[in-house]
Structures are given as C-alpha cells and as structure tokens.
C-alpha cells in the first residue's frame, strides 16, 4: 500500500467514526464530496510531509502530503471547510474550500520558503450595548482565514492574504448579561485571537413589592425592591399615584453590589398597581429613564357578581365560588389561577355543595323549595330534588327551604332547612346513593342544641362533618362517616361563635368566636387558645399552611392582616392597608395568599358590583 492509498483509507475511517454529528437525518445517506491536490514550492518542486488540517464541525481531521506532494481526502460532508497547510521553514496557508456532492475539489498549493508572520492592531475590545462598528489592521506575509462562532459579531471578510483591514459590526446587546465573543485569525499554524466584550443595556428585570408591617411596635412602611441586571446608581424616582402622599423624596438602599435597590413607599394596597418613572446610570456612564409598574399582587381575577359562598375541591387544586347578583358558579384553577368553568344559575343562590361520591354539584336557592343537581364536569342539569314538609312543620311556615348542605365521601350528607318568614332551622340526613332520600337522623333532637344547625363544614378528607349551632351557642358537633354517629362538643370559651374554618390538611379547625380565636382538634379533644381579640361577622381567618410554622394562622380584622403563632401564643406581624378585603384564603403549599375583595354594594336595581380574587405570594411579606 503506497502513502497516498494509506492516507485515503485513514481519511475514510476517521470521517465515518467522528463526523456522525453532521449527518442531516438518521435514516438518510449524508451528502459527501472529495478533496485532492498537490503542494509545490516556488520552483514547482513537490513538497512532501506537509501537514494538512481540515475543519470537520467541532473536530479537525489531520493528514499529510505524500512523497510527490499529493494529498487526497474522501467522504467529506458537503459545505464550506477550512483547510490549513503548514511545514517548518515554509509560509503556511489557510483557505476556505467548498465541498460539493459527489464532486472532486482540486487544489494546487504553492508554499514559499520562510516563517509565517501574523499580527493584529488590537486584540481586546470592550464595547457599549448599542450597535457598534470599527476596524482593525492585519499584517501578514501569507494567506489567512477568519473563524467566528458568535452570531452577534459580524465581520466583512472570512479570508484574505497579506496586509488588510477587517471591519467589525456588533448588534445591540439586549440580553441580561455582558457577553464575550472570540474571533480567530488563522494563517498556517499561526493563530491570533481577538476578544470582544459588550456590556448589556441596564434595565430592571424584577420588581418585588414588600408589604409594610408592624413588628414589636416598630412600623416598617411598604417598600419596593428593584433588581437590575448590572450595578446602577439611582438619580431619581417619581411616583404617579397622586392620591397617595408618600415620604418624598424616596430614600434608596443598595444591596448585591448595587444590583438591588429598595425604596420605601407607604401607599401599597394589596390588589392595586402603582406607576413610577426612574432615572439611573450604569457604571459605564450611560443614563437611562424607565417607566415601571408595581403590582402589590401577582395576579387578579375579576368575577361578576358578589361573593356568596366558596369551597375547595377535595384535591385542593380548584376553588369554587358562588356569586349573587349575577347568580353564577365559578371553578377557578389554583394551579394557573384562571377561570376554568362558569355556570349561570336560574335563581339567586343560597349555597352549593360538591358530592364527590357522584361527581355532582347540588345548588340550592334563596327561598326555593328544591335543589338542582348538576354534573360537575359539564354542568348539565341532571335532576331536581323537591323539598316537602317533614315531621310537625308549621302548616303556614313549612321547613322546606334548603339553607346549608355538605356531603361525606359515602354520598351521605347533612342538609339544613329553613322556613319562609320564620327563623326556624332544622337539619336532616340526605343520601345520594338512595335517590337523595331525606330522613331524620336517630340522634336528632337528642338535646336542644343539636336540634338547630346553622352551618355545616366538611373536614380535610370529607370523612367527617362539623355541625355548627346558631351563634348564641358555643357547641358544635362531629358527624362521623364510619359510625354514622354524632358527637357533641363545646368550646371552653363561652363567647358567641362567628365561624368555623376547617384545616385542609388535617382534622383541626379554627373556631372563631367573639374575642377569642382558637384551634380545635375535635378528634384529639384539644383546643388551643390564642388571646383575646374582638371578632366581627366580616372577619376572616385561615391556616398559613407554612410547613415551618404548622401552628400559625392568618387573621384579618378591618384593614389589618395579622399572623398568629400558637406555638408561642403571640402574634408575629401586623400588615396594614388591606382595605376592603372581605376574606383571606391560603394555598395548601403555603406559598400564596388569596384575598377576596367585594366591590360595590349588593342592592336591588343595581349591577355595579363585582368580586376581585387576588393572588399575593407570601414572599411579599417580610419574614414569611
């Protein structure tokens, strides 16, 4: 085997083994071509053992000329390739070669005696973020090529010979960070690298509102945290919300090597947005003006109508809300916080319940003696349940108007009924597995307290129901699915009860009474008191679901939001400016707080009301 055949065989093996990445399609034969030629000196004499380097994607294939100065490479993937020729005591050359499908590209290379020389006028540049253009000078005694792998750098030449100028053009740097590119000039075995750095345009990439709070009687005002992509110096900030008069001019606090700037702003109201204009400089002397909005919330949904009732799906991924006025039922995904379903109701609703055993929704109406049963998935009306007088109902005021309803996993539930024009309230058992049969529970009327039930709640897994007596009593009952029995309990704090808020992770619930808020676990038989605080009917409370603070709750009173810690028996922080919030609900992962604000007053003859559902991440609250 002669030297020429050996080089050809090695070339074929190398290409098959290391160039698979350049195959266009796995099942399609790649397109290939050939390269051959001869290398001579200035007298036309063959030059053997010339090193030949061919660029092959991310690799380089190397061979050499034979005794006759000849070379041949087969099986080269089509496209433009860089080829360098070098040997001691000769001026090397580097060329761009076009390889075509099934064709032989032939080169005749003339190497002159001497040593390669290649220099550039400058090899390092720091440029502004705006589009840039400049040139450099090249000094060389041979041919050369330009290698450039950065798409944002443009050069006007890809190859040349001898002395020349290369013009560079940079695109605007709109990325978040400084970028660095490299352009390499190659002449034979000599390389010169040119490093180009381009600073980014300075901008705000994150705006985080921080809600003001009172901690140990120290007032910490609302503030705004700005995060920049590069160090900055603030010149001024102007606010555009002229209904508020914050401390002005703003004071700035720098962190993270001046990439983070915080300023106090005493007007932040959850659910509202505020506009600002900021003037600042980067550390390269560039000046900027930018307008930005601060949302003291992450996302907001506007619902038609006035919030009336709400509940969660068993898996906690959906929040169901019923509104008055527009008479609607919504299903809202808590995963992406969007409205997934909307059901128009035929009458003003009194309430609704989800029956997990049948995947149905039971809807009942104000002073209507029936219940509509809808399919939970497509909202089709499946049937009506007509209420009829039971026991010794007063003939003029029969107890036939559904007032409250909840179901167990078994499909059995408890329904409370009221009478038109009367304060009478009675409760019965409803069994959806027996054609919605309504019966009297054997324990009904066991004592006076258990005879009357105003509100019914389910526990976290729908295996128990909590029955709440009218607000003049401090008793509550637990209906066990497993035993079908009811156990009476009584709070040890003798204050008027306001509401029960079940924990969505265990059997405990918040028992909100006037002047006392406690956590009750009726199964374990425990009741943990906080401290005296006045409670009103429009107060709201929920567990924080913070895994690091399992015995903590949110409590909303008037325009203040407070965190209570049962493990220490004290409240932690108190947040202000929660104006017009009617209810607060925490997500089960503890990462978000949902605020519900009712806009307008529900009254006859007006449609100017709606409900705002506002998602506020707990990261907006310092220390939580």
Condensed to tens digits (0 to 9), the pLDDT of residues 57-81 reads 778 899 999 999 999 999 899 999 8
pTM score, whole prediction:
0.74
Res 10 pLDDT > 60: no
Work out the mean pLDDT of the chain and round it to a whole number.
87
Residue predicted with more confidence, 20 or 228: 228
Q: Are strands 287-295 and 132-140 parallel, antiparallel or unpaired?
A: unpaired
Region 595-604: what's the mean pLDDT? 76
Given this model, what pLDDT does residue 535 score?
62
| Predicted local confidence at residue 6, as pLDDT | 42
- pLDDT at residue 624, rounded to an integer: 62
532 pLDDT more than 80: no
DSSP category for residue 486 = E
Residue 522 in this model has a pLDDT that exceeds 80: yes
**Model confidence band, residue 602 (pLDDT cutoffs 50, 70, 90):** low
User: Are 168 and 196 a contacting pair, CB within 8 Å?
Assistant: yes
Can you tell me the mean pLDDT for 370-381?
Answer: 96
How many residues can be counted in the chain? 624
Residues sharing a CB contact under 8 Å with residue 315, sequence separation 6 or more, in sequence order: none
pLDDT at 368: 94
Beta bridge partners of 61: 54
Q: Using CA of residue 214, residue 220, residue 222, residue 225, what is the dihedral sign?
A: negative
The whole-number pLDDT of residue 43 equals 81
Q: Which of 402, 408, 366, 403 is nearest to 385 (CA)?
A: 402
* Most confidently modeled range among 17-31, 128-142, 506-520: 128-142
Give me the mean pLDDT over the 144-149 stretch: 92
What pLDDT is recorded for position 547?
Answer: 82
How high is the pLDDT of residue 424?
Answer: 73
Q: Give CA separation, 151 vs 124, 173, 440, in Å.
A: 18, 12, 79
Bridge partners of 533? 515
The region of weakest confidence among 181-185, 399-403, 490-494 is 490-494
Quick: pLDDT tens for 321-351. Answer: 999 988 999 999 998 999 999 999 999 999 9
Statement: residue 26 has pLDDT above 60 = no
% of the chain at pLDDT higher than 90: 54
Instruction: Place 413 in a pLDDT band, splitting at 50, 70 and 90.
Output: very high
Judged against a pLDDT cut of 60, whether residue 523 lies above it is answered with yes
Q: Could you tell me the pLDDT band of residue 12, with boundaries at 50, 70 and 90?
A: very low
| Confidence at residue 218, expressed as pLDDT on a 0 to 100 scale | 75
What residue ranges define each of the domains in the chain, with the CATH number in brackets?
3-110 (2.60.40.10), 118-198 (2.60.40.10), 204-295 (2.60.40.1220), 345-490 (2.130.10.10)
The CA distance from 430 to 244, in Å, is: 54
Q: Is the peptide bond before 252 cis (omega within 30 degrees of 0)?
A: no
Here the tokens at position 2 are 């002669």
DSSP 15: H
What Å distances lie between residue 114 and 48, 117, 151, 169, 208, CA to CA? Answer: 16, 9, 36, 34, 65
Return the structure tokens found at 252. Answer: 């700035």
Q: Is residue 179 within 8 Å of residue 152, measured between CB atoms?
A: yes
Q: What percent of the chain is modeled with pLDDT above 70?
A: 90
- pLDDT tens-digit map of 159-174: 998 899 999 999 999 8
pLDDT at 165: 95
| CA 86/CA 109 separation, integer angstroms | 11
Residue with tokens 């705000």: 204
Average confidence (pLDDT) over 548-574: 80
Is the per-residue pLDDT at 598 higher than 80?
yes
Integer CA distances (angstroms), 436 to 40, 82, 431, 528, in order: 101, 82, 5, 38
Confidence of residue 507 (pLDDT cuts 50, 70, 90): very high
Confidence of residue 17 (pLDDT cuts 50, 70, 90): very low
* Apex 258 CA angle, 253 and 263, nearest 5: 25
CA dist., res. 600 & res. 4, Å (int): 92
Model pLDDT for residues 251-307, shown as the tens digit of each residue: 889 999 999 999 998 888 898 899 999 999 999 999 999 999 999 999 999 999 999
Of residues 55 and 503, more confidently modeled = 503
The answer to whether residue 248 scores a pLDDT higher than 80 is: no
Q: What average pLDDT does this structure show over 121-147? A: 93
């Amino acid at each position: 085997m002669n030297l020429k055949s050996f080089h050809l065989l090695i070339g074929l093996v190398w290409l098959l083994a290391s160039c698979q990445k350049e195959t266009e399609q796995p099942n399609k034969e790649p397109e290939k071509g050939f390269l051959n030629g001869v290398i001579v000196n200035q007298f036309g004499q063959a030059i053997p053992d010339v090193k030949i380097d061919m660029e092959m994607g991310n690799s380089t294939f190397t061979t050499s000329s034979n005794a006759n100065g000849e070379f041949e490479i087969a099986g080269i993937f089509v496209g433009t390739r860089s080829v360098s020729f070098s040997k001691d005591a000769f001026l090397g050359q580097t060329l761009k070669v076009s390889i075509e499908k099934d064709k032989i590209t032939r080169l005749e290379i003339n190497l002159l005696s001497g040593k390669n020389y290649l220099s550039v006028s400058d090899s390092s540049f720091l440029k502004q973020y705006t589009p840039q253009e400049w040139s450099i000078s090249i000094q060389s005694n041979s041919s050369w090529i330009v290698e450039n792998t950065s798409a944002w750098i443009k050069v006007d030449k890809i190859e040349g010979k001898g002395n020349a100028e290369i013009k560079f053009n940079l695109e605007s740097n709109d990325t978040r960070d400084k970028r660095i590119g490299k352009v390499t000039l190659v002449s034979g075995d000599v390389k010169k690298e040119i490093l180009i750095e381009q600073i980014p345009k300075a901008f705000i990439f994150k705006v985080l509102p921080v809600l003001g709070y009172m901690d140990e009687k120290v007032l910490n005002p609302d503030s705004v945290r700005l995060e920049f992509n590069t160090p900055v110096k603030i010149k001024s900030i102007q606010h555009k919300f002229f209904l508020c008069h914050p401390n002005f001019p703003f004071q700035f606090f720098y962190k993270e090597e001046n990439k983070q700037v915080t300023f106090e702003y005493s007007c932040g109201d959850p659910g509202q947005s505020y506009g600002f204009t900021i003037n600042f400089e980067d550390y390269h002397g560039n000046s900027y003006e930018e307008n930005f909005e601060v949302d003291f919330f992450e996302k907001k949904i506007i619902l038609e109508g006035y919030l009336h009732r709400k509940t969660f799906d068993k898996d906690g991924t959906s929040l169901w809300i019923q509104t008055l006025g527009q008479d609607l039922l919504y299903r809202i995904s808590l995963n992406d916080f969007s409205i997934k379903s909307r059901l128009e109701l035929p009458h003003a609703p009194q309430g609704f319940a989800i029956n997990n055993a049948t995947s149905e929704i039971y809807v009942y109406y104000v002073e209507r003696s029936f219940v509509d049963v809808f399919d939970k998935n497509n909202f089709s009306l499946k049937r009506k349940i007509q209420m009829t007088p039971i026991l010794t109902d007063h003939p003029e005021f029969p107890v036939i108007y559904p007032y409250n309803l909840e179901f167990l996993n078994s499909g059995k539930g408890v329904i409370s009924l009221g009478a038109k024009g009367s304060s009478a309230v009675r409760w019965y058992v409803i069994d959806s597995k027996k054609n919605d049969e309504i019966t009297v529970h054997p324990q009904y009327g066991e004592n006076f307290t258990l005879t009357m039930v105003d509100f019914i709640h389910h526990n976290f897994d729908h295996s128990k129901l909590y029955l709440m007596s009218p607000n003049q009593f401090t008793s509550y009952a637990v209906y066990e699915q497993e035993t079908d029995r009811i156990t009476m309990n009584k709070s040890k704090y003798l204050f008027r009860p306001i509401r029960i808020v079940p924990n969505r992770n265990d059997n405990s619930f918040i028992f909100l009474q006037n002047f006392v808020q406690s956590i009750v676990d009726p199964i374990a038989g425990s009741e943990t008191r906080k401290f005296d605080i006045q409670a009103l009917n429009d107060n709201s409370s929920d567990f924080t679901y913070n895994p690091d603070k399992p015995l903590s709750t949110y409590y909303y009173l008037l325009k203040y939001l407070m965190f209570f810690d049962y493990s220490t028996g004290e409240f932690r922080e108190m947040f202000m400016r929660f104006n017009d919030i009617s209810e607060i609900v925490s997500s089960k992962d503890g990462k978000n707080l949902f605020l519900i604000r009712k806009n307008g007053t529900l009254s006859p003859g007006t449609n100017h009301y709606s409900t705002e559902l506002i998602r506020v991440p707990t990261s907006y609250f310092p220390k939580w």
